[in-house]
Structure 1
Amino acid sequence: MQTLDTFDWIAISIYFLVLLGIALWVIRKKENNTEDYFLAGRNVGWFVVGASIFASNIGSEHVVGLAGAGAGDRLPMLIYEIQAWIVLILGWVFLPFYARAGVFTMPEFLEKRFDARARWILSVFSIVAYVLTKISVTIYAGGVVVSALLGIDFWTGAIATVVLTGIYTVLGGMRAVVYTETLQAIILVIGAAALTFIGLDHVGGWESMKETVTPEYLNMWRSASDPDFPWPSLLIASTITGIWYWCTDQYIVQRALTAKNIKEGRRGTIFGALLKLFPVFLFLIPGVIALTLKMRGELHWDSPDEAFPVLMSNLLPSGLRGLVAAGLLAALMSSLASVFNSCSTLFTVDIYKKLRPNAPEKKLVRTGQIATVIVVIIGIIWIPIMANISGVLYEYLQSVQSYIAPPITAVFLLGIFHKRINSQGAFVTMVVGFIVGALRIVLELVKDSLDPGSFWFLLGNMNFLSFASWFFLFCIILIVVVSYATPAPSDEKLKNLTYATISDEERKKNKSSYNWKDIAISVIIIAIVAYVMIWFNGK
């Protein structure tokens, strides 16, 4: 590892001064009410919405974890990164329903579609999910990055970054998050693109790299009997997780809800989907480059998760290395800032405001700030347990999301597409889903002490992709059976909340919110996704 020099530190300092300037400008402009704090006053344009969606998604856990997947024989995991077409589903299918309902949060939407019980469960479910999949993972990845770049202790680096991010998120709210994320997205793309081009040049081009790692290594489609990544389960599970993450998760949807109107929000999701095509080439390929150099004896790292920072520090020239280091720190801060704000929104709007309906606006904002601090502390405590679930960070992230996503995806999809689904069906599915998901995590942690012939061992040891696929089917059957066994909801309650109950006026309004350009760009994005999926077939 090469340490950062004077030019690198100048680049990092300039970057953070600009970031601080944006945050201060936002803090001076903001109003002290919940709509401004949590949704940036619902007044954001498509470019900022799209950049914010991308930057929220691409955190240092992707930079570290996705490069680690590329360096550690986990190439099939790349399917989670090329599911850009699912971001389009948010804009074209889900967003109009959320906007018509006028909601701040996803649990609030479930209350309108079903009842208050669904809201409570999703609020708690989401906060637990953030601790397991976002906060602890991002802090861990940040610790890896910061300790590798600055040569300091892992925990010192991780906690220092958390504190710095927490300060500007707590003070600036959602507006500070979306505007600083726009800058972070630009820096991250420029830095990672430079590393990819320089790295490919260093290994002698794509064909030379392919020769070293062998073409089979670059095949994301393994046989249906593969113990780690059977392709049918991989395709199904990644789609289920994708719909949960991109279309129903507060963390991402909150960005689209900050838009001025449906038109801007939809265009923001289209732009976000376009940006989402980059990570495969920006983060996964550097991991494969790092592996190529290791196999040739030109680079050394102990864990695949170290591949990106080690490659960066050895290949990039002075100054540019500092800029990419700033981009990596930005990615960490961006992810943390987003999840901090989403947690505070969920807790304040969906839990605290329900218990204290007459609380003043200032009190609600203060409560959101306190909730953020508590959730971060719990996330830090969870980090040591993460290591027992999976060796590669990115695989841990996707496996835990596979246990959380199926019940929520089932409830949202059927809730919008099938008007006969009722509150009882949603309630039972989410409660049972929460229990089954938690049980799977516990069984995975203790499976070595279980009898190999028992049902519990089978449940804890089943491939996580196959588990997610069967679990989703179980949730679909459960919600349908319970809904049909109990009374149907009234059409009046469902007005504009399902496809079958949209008024003619709303249909016309929705039709006027897009044009042929929006459709054409969406089709091009889907075609590129299909091409990339075919391209990575090991030939």
Structure 2
Amino acid sequence: MQTLDTFDWVTITLYFLVLLGIAVWVISKKKNSTEDYFLAGRNVGWFVVGASIFASNIGSEHVVGLAGAGASDKLPMLIYEIQAWIVLILGWVFLPFYARSGVFTMPEFLEKRFDARSRWVLSVFSIVAYVLTKISVTIYAGGVVVSALLGIDFWTGAIATVVLTGIYTVLGGMRAVVYTETLQAILLVFGAAVLTYLGLGEVGGWDSLIETVKPEYLNMWRPSTDQDFPWPSLVVTSTIVGIWYWCTDQYIVQRALTAKNVKEGRRGTIFGAVMKLLPVFLFLIPGVIALALKMRGQLQWDSPDEAFPVLMSNVLPSGLRGLVAAGLLAALMSSLASVFNSVSTLFTVDIYKKLKPDTPEKKLVKTGQMATMVVVIIGIIWIPIMANISGVLYEYLQSVQSYIAPPITAVFLLGIFYKRINGLGAYLTLVMGIVVAAIRIVLELTKNDLDPNGFWFYMGDMNFLSFGAWFFLVCIIFAIVVSFLAPAPDEEKVANLTFGTISNEEKEKTKNSYSWIDIFISIIVLAVVVGVMVFFNGK
């Protein structure tokens, strides 16, 4: 590892001064209203929406974890990046329903479509899920990056970054988050592109890279009998997780809800999908380059999660190294800022405001700020436990999401596509989902103490992708069966919130909210996705 020099530190300082300037400008413009604090006044254009979707998704857990997957024979994990085309479904299918309902949060949408019970369950479930996946993983990845780059110990790096991000998120709210994320997205893409280009030069070009790692290493498709990544389960579960994450998760959908209207929101999701094609080349390939250089004895690292920062510190010249370091820190901060704001929105709007409906706007904003601080502390406490679940960070993230996503995906898909699903079906499916996900995580952590021939060991040891696929099927059947055991929902309850009940006026509005350009770019994105899937077949 080469440490950062004076020129690098000047670059990092300049970047943080610009970031601080944006945050101060945003804070000076803010109003003490919940719509402004949680949804940036619903007045954001498509470019900022798309950049914010990309930046809040691409945190350092992606940069560190995806490069780690590339450096550790976990290439099938790439499908989770490729499946980001699903953000198009958010813009084309889900967003018009969310916009028609006028909601702030996804649990609030479930209350409008089903009842208050589903809202309560999803609010609590989402906050717990953020601690298990987003907050702890992002803080951990940030600790790895900061300690590797700045030469300080892991915990100091992790906590310093959390505090810094927390300050501007708490003070500026969603407006501060989306505008700082736009800068961070641009910087991160530029920095990673330069690293990929220089890294390929260092390894002697693409052909030399393939020769070192062997062509079969770049095969993301494993046989259906593969113990780790059977391809049918990989495709099914990554799609389920993709719909949950891109179309129903507060963390991402909140960005689309900040848009001026459905047209800007949809274009933002299309732009986000275009941006999301980049990580395949900008973060995974540097991991493969780092592995090739290690195999040649030109680079040394202990854990695959260190591949990206080690490659960066050794390949990039002075100054540029500082800029990419700033980009990595930016990725960490943008993800943290997004999740902090989403948690405070969920807690304040879906829990606190429900319990105390007469609370003034100013106090609601303050409550959101306090909620953020509490969740950060819990996330830090969870990190040591998280380290036991999986060796590679990105795989940990996807395995936990494979247990959380199926019940939520089932309820939202059925809720929008099938008007017969009622409040009882949605509520009991979510409750069952939480119980099963919790049991699976506990069994996975304790399976070494269980009888290898017993049912519980089988449930804890089952491949996480296969588990996710079967679990989703169970959730769908369960929701339908329970719904048919209770009366159908009232027509007024489902009006304009399911496909079979949209009024002609609303259909016309939706039709006027897109053009042939939106359709054309969406088709191009899908064509590139298919191309990437064909390219990474190890031949």
Shorter-normalised TM-score: what interval?
Answer: over 0.9
One-letter code aligned to 2:115: D
Equivalent position SS for 2:301: coil
AA at the equivalent of 1:33 = S
1:201 offset after TM fit, Å? 1.0
Do the aligned partners of 1:84 and 1:525 also contact (CA within 8 Å) in 2?
no
Kindly state the Cα deviation for residue 114 of structure 1 after the two structures are TM-superposed.
0.2
Cα offset for 1:486? Answer: 1.0
Q: Could you say what secondary structure the match of 1:82 adopts?
A: helix
Secondary structure of the equivalent of 1:260?
A: coil
Query: In terms of mean alpha carbon deviation, does 197-206 or 268-277 score higher?
Result: 197-206
Instruction: State how far apart, in whole Å, the 1-side matches of 2:83 and 2:184 are.
Output: 22
The 8 Å contact of residues 84 and 274 in structure 1, kept in 2 or not, is answered as no
2:245 is matched with 245
Give deviations 1:479-518, integer Å, cap 9, x for gaps: 0111111110011111100000000000000000001000
Structure 2 distance, partners of 1:118, 1:42, is 25
Corresponding residue for 1:260? 260
Partner of 1:423: 423
> Could you give the per-residue CA deviations for residues 69-113 of structure 1, whole angstroms, max 9, x where no partner exists?
000110000000011320100000000000000000000000000
1:437 equivalent in structure 2: 437
Q: Which residue of 1 aligns with 2:315?
A: 315
Residue 510 in structure 1 maps to residue 516 in structure 2: no
2:490 maps to 1:490: yes
Are the counterparts in 2 of residues 84 and 529 from structure 1 also a CA contact under 8 Å?
no
| 1:181, distance to aligned residue in structure 2 (A) | 0.1
Alignment partners' CA distance in 2, 1:132 and 1:493: 33
* 2:349 aligned with 1:363: no
The CA distance in 2 between the partners of 1:441 and 1:183, in whole Å, is: 37
1-side partners of 2:266 and 2:323: how far apart? Answer: 32
Whole-angstrom distance in 2 between the partners of 1:205 and 1:414:
48
Residue 182 (structure 1) aligns with: 182
Does residue 272 (structure 1) correspond to residue 272 (structure 2)? The answer is yes
2:350 is aligned to 350
2:501 maps to 501
Show the counterpart of 1:413: 413
Partner of 1:132: 132
- Runs of at least 4 residues off by over 2 Å: none
After the TM superposition, which residues 42-53 of structure 1 pair with which residues of structure 2 at under 5 Å, given as runs? 42-53=42-53
CA distance in 1, matches of 2:162, 2:35: 25
Q: Within 1, Cα distance between the matches of 2:118 and 2:388? A: 32
Kindly provide the amino acid, as one letter, of the partner of residue 343 in structure 2.
Answer: C
Partners of 2:182 and 2:432 in 1: CA distance = 39
Query: Which whole-Å CA distance do the structure 2 matches of 1:144 and 1:270 have between them?
Result: 32
Q: Is the 8 A contact 2:111 2:118 kept in 1?
A: yes
* Equivalent in the alignment of 1:142: 142
Describe the superposition over 1:239-298 as per-residue Cα deviations: whole angstroms up to 9, x where unpaired. 000000000000000000000000000000000000000001000000000000000010
Determine the C-alpha separation between the residues in 2 that align with 1:409 and 1:353: 26
Match of residue 107 from structure 1: 107
C-alpha contact 2:145 2:328 (8 A) present in aligned 1: yes
CA shift, 1:11, in A, is 0.6
Q: Which residue of 2 aligns with 1:86?
A: 86
- What residue in structure 1 maps to residue 153 of structure 2? 153
Contact conserved, 1:52 with 1:182, CA < 8 A, in 2?
A: yes
Query: Aligned equivalents of 1:482 and 1:113: distance in 2?
Result: 16
- Answer yes or no: is the 8 Å Cα contact 2:143–2:157 preserved in 1: yes
Deviations 1:405-445 (A, max 9, x none): 00000000000000000001001100000000000000000
Aligned to 2:294: 294
Deviations 1:13-58 (A, max 9, x none): 1100000000000000010100000000000000000000000000
1:64–1:306 CA contact under 8 A, matched in 2: yes
Question: Structure 2 counterpart of 1:355, which letter?
Answer: L
Aligned to 1:116: 116
| CA drift at 1:204 | 1.1
Is structure 2 residue 478 aligned with structure 1 residue 478? yes
Task: Say if 1:35 and 1:42, in contact at 8 Å, map to a contact too.
Answer: yes
Q: Answer whether contact 2:84 2:246 (CA < 8 A) is retained.
A: no
What's 2:216 paired with?
216
Question: Contact 2:200–2:289 at 8 Å: present in 1 too?
Answer: yes
Work out the CA distance in 2 between the residues paired with 1:387 and 1:215.
31
Aligned to 2:491, what secondary structure does the other structure show?
coil
Q: 2:381 is matched by which residue type in structure 1? A: I
Q: How far apart, in 1, do the equivalents of 2:208 and 2:84 lie?
A: 29
Root mean square deviation, CA, Å: 0.4
- 1: CA distance between counterparts of 2:492 and 2:40? 32
1:331 aligns with 2:342: no
- Give the aligned residue type for 1:453: N
Which residue of structure 1 lines up, in the alignment, with residue 41 of structure 2?
41
- Measure, in 2, the Cα distance between the counterparts of 1:288 and 1:122: 38
Q: Give the Å deviation of 1:205.
A: 1.0
- Quote the residue 2:386 is aligned against: 386
How far apart, in 1, do the equivalents of 2:450 and 2:206 lie? 46
What is the DSSP-based 3-state SS (H/G/I as helix, E as strand, rest coil) of the residue aligned with 1:493?
Answer: helix
**Is the CA contact (8 Å cut-off) linking 1:145 and 1:328 kept in structure 2?**
yes
Match of 2:32 in 1: 32
State the alpha-carbon separation in 1 of the partners of residues 84 and 169 from structure 2.
Answer: 27
* Rounded Cα–Cα distance in structure 2 between residues aligned with 1:218 and 1:409: 31
Give the secondary structure class of the aligned counterpart of 1:20: helix
For residues 282 and 209 of structure 1, the distance between their equivalents in structure 2, rounded to whole angstroms, comes to 15
Q: d(CA) in 2 for partners of 1:324 and 1:7?
A: 13
**2:370 is paired with a residue of what secondary structure?**
helix
Structure 2: how far apart are the matches of 1:205 and 1:413?
Answer: 45
Paired position in structure 2 for 1:283: 283
Structure 1 CA distance, aligned partners of 2:342 and 2:48? 17
Aligned residues: 539
Taking the aligned partners of 2:208 and 2:307, their CA distance within structure 1 comes to 19
What is the Cα deviation at residue 206 of structure 1?
Answer: 1.1
TM-score (norm 2): 1.00
**TM-score by structure 1 length?**
1.00
Query: Which residue does 1:4 correspond to in 2?
Result: 4
**What residue is the counterpart of 2:227 in the other structure?**
227
CA distance in 2, matches of 1:443, 1:270: 39
Runs of 5+ unmatched residues, structure 1: none
